[in-house]
Every structure is written in structure tokens, then in C-alpha cells.
A = this chain, B = another copy of it.
Amino acid sequence: MKPEETVDFQIKRTWQSIAKMYNEVAAGYGATMATGFVLLNIDSEKGTPSTALGPKMGMEATSMSRILKSMEEKELIERRPNPSDGRSVLIHLTPFGREKRKDAKQAVINFNTSVIQRFSQNEMSTFFKVIEGINTMIIDHKLESEKV
């Protein structure tokens, strides 16, 4: 089995290509892929607890708070008290952040549309079946090996 024939190599390489591509698109707006992902993960209406963003994006708390700080300085987001819990805060989009969220959303739509147009519906559904199945397999196996 050559490395380039393995499932892990293909997934890793393609994820790195996607990340590079998104970072280049984001650089055109003076931003990064991570900034775009944060914008997309904030609820435009109700705001989102800062503590919920890290797990949602699979990101460490320290990296997340660094990104949030920089986004606050750029006036993309603002912190407001949580109406249902006075001790915590919610991250809200500013009007400028809302505008930039649209750009991020468009970048995701553009990329996904290009992919979908390139392959048949059958190919895409097999692709999703396999990649979701691999993820489930890893999670199940982990749960299995954690059993006593």
C-alpha cells in the first residue's frame, strides 16, 4: 500500500488543499479561513456563547479566544451579556460582521457548487456515505475500546 493510495493520505491532502484555498479567498478580504468559520458559526439572531464556538469548530480554547479577540478589534463581533444567564456573555455579529459573514457563506457555496457540478448525484452520495461512514467507524471503535 503506497501512502498516496491510503484513505488517510487522500483525506489529509484534500483537507490541506481546501484549507489553503479558503485561506487564499479569505486573504482577499484581509481575513483568514478561521475568521470566516467563526462568522459562519455565530447565530445571526440570538448570538452564540463563546464557550460553544470552540467545540463546534474543533478548536482549542486558547486559539479560539485569540481569534475572538482579533475579531473584536476588527469590529466583526461584539460581546453582550447573556439575557438568560447574567454571568456569561454571548458573541454577536456587528453589522460589519454580518456583511462579512455573507462573503464567507458565498465562498463555501461557490466551492461546494463546483464540486457538486463536477460529479454525478450518485458519485456524491457514495462519497458522503463513505466519508461519514469512516468518521462513524472511528468514533464507534473508540467507544468500543473504552468499554471495560
Contacts from A to B (Cβ < 8 Å): 1, 3, 6-8, 10-22, 24, 40-41, 58, 108-109, 111-112, 114-116, 118-119, 122-124, 126-135, 137-139, 141-142
Main SS class of interface, A = helix
A18–B10 Cα gap in the complex (Å)?
Answer: 12
Is B135 in contact with A13, judged by CB distance below 8 angstroms? yes
Is B137 in contact with A40, judged by CB distance below 8 angstroms? no
* A112/B8 contact (C-beta < 8 A), A16-B58, A21-B142 known: yes
Is B133 in contact with A7, judged by CB distance below 8 angstroms? no
Is B135 in contact with A7, judged by CB distance below 8 angstroms? no
A141–B111 Cα gap in the complex (Å)?
Answer: 11
